Structures are given as structure tokens and as C-alpha cells.
Amino acid sequence: MAEAEFNVPSFHGDFRYGIDDSRRVMIPAKWRPKDPSVVFTVILWPIGVEDFLLVLPPERWQVMLDKLKAKSLHDKRVATLERVIGASSAPLTLDRVGRFVLPEHLAKPAGIEKEAQFVGRLDKFEMWSPVRYQAANADDKSLAASVAAEIDL
């Protein structure tokens, strides 16, 4: 599984951390991989809306790459998607104390300035502006209940 291969934990809970003047933000201790060289991919998400940063550990990033690779090289729509993801993403590693340095070209459109809200999504996580997260989260539980019933959880 993912933890054995990359030593990356699963991501549960939500946390809020301050961001310093160098755009460094602490990652929740429970979420830090045992191997500090693990590369996370951070993407402005959703594409075209850019509400938050989606953070993918290596195995989840590989799933996305595999899906893209399975598509035709001649499909202009896929090429466009690859360009947009390439331009609005960055590989990040943690520093020795467990922080990411958020690239300005990603943090600014997501509205992440002085604080970041981390939200676990099991095999990945999100980083939000706390204000945007609070607004987006207002209807999440009712929508989640509807989807859970729809997919028969």
C-alpha cells in the first residue's frame, strides 16, 4: 500500500497553521512522511476555479499521470489539460522542521496569505484560505450525505 511504498501517512482531520513572511507553513505532524525526501505535488484546484491547493503524495500523483498517459498524444484537449496542470502546479518537499515553502504563483490565486487550513482527504489533502474554506464548507455535510447514499457507502 501507499504507506509501505512511500512512507506517507493517510490524511485525516483539519488543522490551521500560520504562514511566515517567507511563505513557509508547517504541515501537521501526523501527516509528515517518514522519508523527508518525499515529493508532494501541489496543484491549484479545481481547474478553472482555483479555490484551494490540492496536495498529492507521490502515489496519488502517479495515478493522475497514468490517466493522462493513457490518453492519445493527438488529443488537443488532453494536451491543454496537461499544460494547465503543468503551469498551475509545483513539486514540494518538506524542510527539516516539516514545512512547505508555498510558491507565490500558487498561494496567491488560492487566497492563501497569512494562514492555511489543511483538510484531509484520506489519500491526499487540501490547503485552503481559512475564509474560503469556511464559506465552501457550509454545505459540505449535506452534499457528502447525498453522495454517500448515492454510492451506497
Q: In which domain, by residue range, is 145 found?
A: 2-150
* Residue 94 CB partners (closer than 8 Å, separation 6+): 27, 32, 33, 36, 38, 100
The tens digit of pLDDT for each residue in 51-64 reads 999 999 999 999 99
CATH number at residue 50: 3.40.1550.20
Q: What is the mean pLDDT of each run of 10 residues along the chain (153 residues)?
A: 59 97 96 93 95 96 94 90 96 96 97 98 97 88 85 79
The tens digit of pLDDT for each residue in 119-132 reads 999 999 999 999 99
Contact 110, 53 (CB under 8 A): yes
The structural domain count of the chain equals 1
The DSSP call for residue 95 is -
pTM across the whole model:
0.89
Cis peptide before 58 (omega within 30 of 0): no
